[in-house]
Every structure is written in structure tokens, then in C-alpha cells.
Chain A
Amino acid sequence: MSFLDHIWLIPLLPAAGALIQLLFGRKLKNSAVSLISVGLPGLAFVWAVGCFVQLLGQPQHTFSTVIYTWLPAGPFHLSNGALGNLSVDVGFLLDPLSVVMLLVVTGVGFLIHVYSIGYMGHEGGYYRFFGYMNLFMFSMLVLVLANNYLMMFVGWEGVGLCSYLLIGFYFQRKSAADAGKKAFVVNRIGDAGFLLGVMLMTVTFGTLNFHEITEAARSGHFEVGSGVITAVCILLFVGATGKSAQIPLYVWLPDAMEGPTPVSALIHAATMVTAGVYMVARSNALYVLAPAALTLVAVIGAATAIWAASIGLVQNDIKRVLAYSTVSQLGYMFLACGVGAFAAGIFHLMTHAFFKALLFLASGSVIHAMSGEQDMRKMGDLRGKIPTTFYTMFIAALAISGVPPLAGFFSKDEILWNAFAGPYAQKALWAIGLLTAGMTAFYMFRLIFMTFWAPSRVAHEVEHHIHESPRSMLGPLVVLAGLSVVGGWIGIGGAESPFASFLEPVFKNPAAFPAVEASSGLEYGLMALSVLVALAGIGIAILYFVKRPVTTERLATPPSAAETVLLNKYYVDEIYDALFVNRTKNLGNACAAFDLGVVDGGVNATGWFTRMSGELSRLWDLWVIDGLVNVGAFAVKLLSYPARILQTGLVQSYALFIVLGVLIFMAYYLAHFGF
């Protein structure tokens, strides 16, 4: 049996689950819902592993298949005047890049589905939750397995829809509904950019197939710095900033934490938000032709990394800290892509999926234990009460902080090394990245210390409810903790590592700047430096939150000016409201007023005129037309009066007239002719 020949089953399995849940889920028992909706993604994962194993036996580790032609189009003129013939297939491309994404999405996705059984067990709309989750899995798998940009866009929009549905899962709560709307609208802005990029590619290349575009870009027809390629890359990156929450479109992601925690873990940390990184990496052949766009990606990535990390320093909601951390880590991935280290970006994407999913799931476990409390100021001293959650979360925090030998250390170090000494290195961006690494370590351990270390600030009624989560939740935590430890080892050795050499065929571009020779001494020095920075961040956190216990009195002191600005997230939401949201609302109100006054007014005026002319017509009819008819009738009545009085209806009077008539005739004849 060949797994690859039936690769279409991978997205279709969760799609079947979604269909069953959304059509019949209401009638199913919770246990049946769990079996179907967790089993099918599990099966998809098994299938994905089978595909991976078989892919290793394929030439160049690439397999592509076309199911059918989706949009067969007629010929049209390309921008260079040549005749193009666009034809879009529904087809799957499995190469080293997409197989990494495939394994991350199905693997982490399956674990989070398992976790959801325990976490969502007591919630209403159980079937609805799993239906949306399975639908998300389907869309995400279409996104990563697509062999062309248009099919990728279908998945791209699908995950956006599921994100909206799941953020607004608790739709009775206004804040959740608003957050869903915000995510959807902000993503639309990015998607417009993506779509424009796809259109520009259509008229430039005449195809949307990944393989064909990569071939065209590597063929040397386009010179480095070509204007149209730069435009395509920037438009695609606009799409990525929306989906992957980069400046200036990152504002939706922290609000997305209104959704259930497994959703935050799956969609808003591990998979969907990395779609932008995947898309940029997928377009690497185009990006190396546009160094300006690459620089933009790197600068935006680095800026987002430090911007979001600084906000994360002071947040008190456990999930919001993680949300800003996600934005910041996504910035890291874009920084990696921007300095031409696509493999490092994808590597960080993978390790981040492990430890960030783990952090979210563990925070979900904490929230579960705390009866729904998310404010870290009301936690503390949970270490001994929920030990499994604590240990797994501690491992994840070490991993994200970049402590060797955990996963995050290798991927982050690889990015920093490329930012410092890679072919597209930008030393300033390296410095920002290093600083961000320190801040990351600080806020992660602030979170750990405030949550798990003494003193306890837990409310009395919550205190005796604290309990460790069920096994279905702890199992995924333990598996992800294991992956957070060992997941980075396949990337040891930088560009020569198994991971990087596996991905190399996808990222080998003749137009890319050649790698710079650098001494291994420098590399080890930088490695030591980044570890030191991470440890310094942890140390400062210990000084602030362990040496000086976080008591309720200390939390009561008013925040400093800088803290206030950070707590309010640099007032970006307020600025956006003033600049864009309210302007749009004003425009809408003006349109409404125009509609009410001018459009409706015109309609009403027409109606009034019609009514008035109808009234005139009625009066004319009543007085003039009817009047004429009545006058005629009256005249006839008047003239006929003498005739009328002769008609008595009495037989005898008629007989009298007859006799009189006869007598008159007789008199006439007698008078004329005599006897």
C-alpha cells in the first residue's frame, strides 16, 4: 500500500470529521464525538508519518500529484506580452518543506485534539468545538499540501474562517464575539495583499504552481532587484503580516485569546499563525531576487519581536503573556527568513510549535485547576498542587528561553547566528534579536514565578478546588515536553545539520548571496553569549519575583509611567481606533446619512409626486369625465320627460291612442276623398 498515492486522504479525514460533527454532532453522545473527531486527525497523522517515510525513498525527496484541473483557463496576455495559459490544479506537493509542516500540523494538532477531550468536556457545544477544530485541520492541511498559490489561498481563507469561529466560540460573551470580528477584519487587510500578490504573479509568470514559479525564478530570466518581483514579495508579505500577526497587523492575536485555550494553542500559536512564515519560505526563490523585500521582512520581524516582547513583560493575564510571546517568536521566524536563513526560520517554526503549544496547554491546565481564573495576580504557589503541569510548563519555559540543550536554544541560536554572520546579516537586527531573547527569558520566568512560586494569592473559594487535570490533558503535555527537549537535536550543526540538509533542495537558490566563511570560534562565542543573555533574563526574573516575593501589597502599588504605557500596549489599539476604525465608522455613518437623506429622500419624493398626480387624476375623472357623462344623461332625462308621461303602462290608454290614431286617419281620408 502506498501512502503517497492516497495523500488526498490526509486533508479529507478531518474534513469528514468536520462534516459529521457539524451535520449530526448535536445528536451524538460526547464519547462518540471524541472518538470521531480525535480519531480522524489521529489517522491523518498516521498517514502523514507513512507519507514521510515513503517520501524519503522518492528522488529528491519530492512527490507531487494532481487530482484534477480545477480552473482550466483560456490563453491570455502576460505583462511581458507573451501568451500565457493559466491552469490551476487541485494537486498536492510533498517536499521537505511541506512535509515538516504536515508533521507539525497533524502531530501537534492531534495532541491538542486529545487534550481538548478533557478541557472541553464540561463545556456546552462540545460537538461544535470539535467540528470547527476538524474543519481547521482540513483547511490547514490544504494550505500546507497545496501545489499552487491559489489552492494555498483557499486553505489560507479556511483557517481564517475557523480562527474567527473558534475565537468567538463563547459568542454569548461580547468581548469574544468582538475579538473574533477583529481577527477576521484585520486578516482581511492582509489577505487583500496576498491576493494582489497572487494576481501579480499570474500576469508575471502565467502560472501559480509552486514548482513552475520556483523554476522560473531560478532560471535567471529575472535579475536580482527586479521591480515586479519586489512588488510581488512585498504584497505576499503584507498577507503574511496579517495571518502571522506582524507589525502593523498584529493587534488581533492578543485579543484572540478570548477563544478556548486549546484553540489558542493550535491555531494561535502552533499552526495557523505560522502560515505566513511557511508562505514566505515557500516563496524563497522570489525573495532572494528581491533583497529590498528581504530587508523589509527582516526589519519588520525584528521590530515585531522586540515590540511584542516589551508588551509581554508586564501583562498579568497568563494567556496574554503567551500571546505576546507568540507574536514575538513569529517575529523571530520572519527575522530568520529576512536574513535569508529560511531553513532556520522553519526550524524555529517547528520547535516553537512544540514548546508554545505546550505552554498554552499547560496554561490551560492551570486555568482549569484555578476554576477559570486567568489573572496571574490571583495565582501563586501552585507548584506542589499541580506538579505535572508545573514540570512540563517549566521545561517549555526553559526551551523558549533558549537554555541548552532544549529545543528553543538550537533554533534561536541558528537565527541569531545567521543574523550576525549569514550572507544577508544585519548586525543591528542581531542585537535586537539578542535583547529580545533576554526579554523572552525574563517574561517567561516572571510567568512561572508568579504562577507557581509562593506566596499564594489564590482566592479562598478557589483554593480548595485546585486539582490536577485529567489524564487526557496531561498526556499531551508530557509528549510535548519530550518534544520540547529533544525536538531541537535534529538541528545541531547549523547548515550541516540533518534538518537543514534535508530542507536544502527547497532553499537552494543560485541568485542567493554565497555563504560567508566564519570561524567556528566566533560561532561558539555567540552561542555562549546568547545563553548568557537568556540566563541573565532568568536571573533578573529570580531577583524580581523570587527574592522579593510577589505579595498582594506589592501588586497594589501603582505602576510606573513606563509600566502604564506597556500595560496599555503602547496604546496601539486606541491609535488604530482613532486613525482607522473611527474614520471607517464615520464614513459608514456618512454613507448612512446619504442613503437616508438623498437616496431614500429621492424615492420618497418620487412616491409623493406619484401620489399627488394620482390625486389630480382622480379629481379630473370625478369632476370632468364623470361630469360630462352625467350632463349628457341629465339632458336625455330632461328631453325625454314629455315622452315619459305618455307611457302610463295602462292597456286602456294605449288602446285609446290607437283608436284616436284610427279616427285621425279616417278624418283625414274623409276630408280629402269625401264619402
Chain B
Amino acid sequence: MIPVHWYLFLGTGLFTVGVIGVLTRRNVIVILMSIELILNAVNINLVAFSQYFHSVDGQVFAIFVITDAAAEAAVGLGLLIALFRNKETVNADEIDILKW
């Protein structure tokens, strides 16, 4: 039986990789992919605790998160295409129109 904190270390590592990816990568597609990593880190946590507490609630939550991630990917990629049509770029550091 693998102890629960191993899963937590994996989740933490995956989360950190995802956060660093979001903060450092220029390509918006890669950023979206990094967000998926973060979500999956959460999923690992949920599943791990579900196993640990012998409750099925966490696994149900994980299913919801996956569904949510699919919807988010669809909306996010749609936004991205709309953005590309206007700015002709997918680099996050060139998109600064949130400024005043």
C-alpha cells in the first residue's frame, strides 16, 4: 500500500510544474496546457484522499473537474482563435490590452 503523502508529493510536483509553465511560457497554447497540468494535480489529490478516506466523493469531484477541463479547453481555444484573428499572435507577452 503506497502511503498517501507520496501521492501528495506527486500532486505538488505536478502543480508546481503547471504553475511555472503558466508563469513562464510565452505561447498561450502552452499556458493552457499548463493549466491542464494544474487541474490534473488537483485530480490526483482528490483521488488520493478518496482512497485514503474510503469515500467515493473525491472521485466524483475528479470526474466533474475533467468535464470542466474539457469545457474550459473548448472555450479557451475558441477565445484563442478570436484573439489570433485580431492580434495575429498567440504570444502572451504581446497581448497587453488589459492595461488602462
Contacts and interface: CB of A to CB of B under 8 A. Distances in A.
Interface in A632-661: 644, 647-652, 654-656, 659
Nearest to A647: B99
A659 B98 contact: no
B95 interface: yes
A651 B23 contact: no
B97 interface: yes
Contact of B97 (A649, A652, A654, A656): A649
B100 A647 contact: yes
B98 A655 contact: no
The CB with the most chain B CB atoms within 10 A, among A644, A648, A651, A659, is that of A651
Interface residues of A, number: 11
A655 B100 contact: no
B22 interface: yes
Contacts of B97: 649
A649 B95 CA distance: 7
Interface residues of B, number: 13
Contacts of B31: 652
B31 to A, nearest CB: 8
Contacts of B88: none
A647 B98 CA distance: 8
B92 interface: yes
Interface in B59-100: 92-93, 95-100
B32 to A, nearest CB: 12
Nearest to B100: A647
A649 B96 contact: yes
B17 interface: no
Contact of B22 (A648, A649, A655): A655
A650 B96 contact: yes
A654 B96 CA distance: 11
B99 A649 contact: yes
Contacts of A644: 100
A651 B94 CA distance: 10
A659 B92 contact: no
Contact of B93 (A647, A650, A654, A656): A650
A649 B99 CA distance: 4
Contacts of A654: 98
A554 to B, nearest CB: 114
B19 interface: yes
A629 B31 CA distance: 45
Nearest to A662: B19
Contact of B23 (A647, A648, A649, A659): A659
Nearest to B19: A659
Contacts of A659: 19, 23
A652 B93 contact: yes
Contacts of B92: 650-652
Contacts of B23: 652, 655-656, 659
A651 B97 CA distance: 10
A649 B98 contact: yes
Nearest to A656: B23
A648 B99 contact: yes
A655 B99 CA distance: 14
Contacts of B24: 652
Contacts of A655: 22-23
A649 B19 CA distance: 19
Contacts of A656: 23
Interface in A136-157: none
Contacts of A649: 95-100
A52 to B, nearest CB: 108
Nearest to B24: A652
A652 B22 contact: yes
A349 to B, nearest CB: 106
Nearest to B22: A655
Nearest to B96: A649
A373 to B, nearest CB: 101
A647 B100 CA distance: 8
Contacts of A652: 22-24, 31, 92-93
Contacts of A651: 92, 95, 98
Contacts of B95: 649-651
Interface string A479-492: 00000000000000
B2 to A, nearest CB: 21
A655 B100 CA distance: 17
A648 B19 contact: no
Nearest to A644: B100
A21 B2 CA distance: 131
Nearest to B28: A651
A654 B23 CA distance: 9
Contacts of B96: 648-650
Interface in B6-40: 19, 22-24, 31
Nearest to B98: A649
14 contacts: A644-B100, A647-B100, A648-B96, A648-B99, A649-B97, A649-B98, A649-B99, A649-B100, A650-B92, A650-B93, A650-B95, A652-B22, A652-B31, A659-B19
Return the 4 tightest CB-CB contacts between A and B, nearest first: A649-B99, A649-B96, A649-B98, A650-B96
Given A649-B96, A652-B23, 13 more contacts: A644-B100, A647-B99, A648-B99, A649-B97, A649-B99, A650-B93, A650-B96, A651-B92, A651-B98, A652-B24, A652-B92, A652-B93, A654-B98
